[in-house]
Structure 1
């Protein structure tokens, strides 16, 4: 028997297609002292994921990227990490973009969000420049 959260949640992936741990999050926990599972990540339904990818495709500034990172953390408990290569960044491929793995976060989502962000950064290089400048890699 699983616990039904009070909000719509992502449908389960086909068996064997994903190892997100969705069912483990929804399973009741034995023992009263156990902390309740963080179900926020399950709010990212396929429809909401499409909206998120559209939003990423419309990013216009570094400030919007920072806001996106904060909202992902606050609303879903998901960490977006963008780290420049130690060897330098000549193109967007020099950035490591990833959604950190966590229970309930689908493998396809962990691949789709960084891919969409990489496409947007290819289109908006000024966001990349601001990102690098914020980390003092451009030496301004």
Structure 2
């Protein structure tokens, strides 16, 4: 017996710009994002808030793409980075990704970086921004 996969409930009409209703009309649409239910989203956000290392963050980036099709770019500013706001966290456009989710994923990552600033330092060092320090 096979278990059916749960699909996220649609947002109320006019409350979101996720373009979920257009997914069937887009030939190259990635439907994996619909498997991110609200309960799974809470688990993902909790996991992102409790990162342990830069390798853990990179692993989560890969898993988010493999399982949900979410492409996440994390890049430090080329200028001076004084706080976690100086680290750019962007989700690439993905039809079906809820507006609130697009906001909550970067916020959860920033909270994780604030809990473990050594991850932010590793990220800056990986981009060679601490070479003169």
Structure 1 residues 85 and 8, CA, compared in 2 at 3 Å: closer, same or farther? same
Q: What SS does the corresponding residue of 2:79 show, helix, strand or coil? A: coil
Corresponding residue number in structure 2 for 1:79:
71
Residue ranges of structure 1 left out of the alignment (5+ in a row): 1-5
TM-score of the aligned structures, taking structure 2 as reference length: 0.90
The CA RMSD measured in Å over matched residues stands at 1.6
Cα distance in structure 2, aligned partners of 1:111 and 1:38: 20
Q: Which residue of 2 aligns with 1:126?
A: 118
What's the offset of the Cα at 1:7?
2.2
1:8-36 residue CA offsets vs partner (Å, 9 max, x unmatched): 111100111101111111x3x5xxxx846
Give TM-score, length-normalised by structure 1.
0.86
How many residues are paired up? Answer: 129
Q: Distance in 2 between matches of 1:132 and 1:97?
A: 13
Structure with max Cα Rg:
1
Decide which of 33, 58, 62 is 1:70's aligned counterpart: 62
Q: Which has the higher contact order (CA 8 A, sep 6+)?
A: 2
Aligned equivalent of 2:11: 13
**Structure 2 gaps, min length 5:** none
Q: After the TM superposition, which of the residue ranges 81-90 and 34-43 deviates more from structure 2? A: 34-43
**Are the structure 2 counterparts of residues 88 and 12 from structure 1 closer, same or farther at C-alpha, using a change threshold of 3 Å?**
same
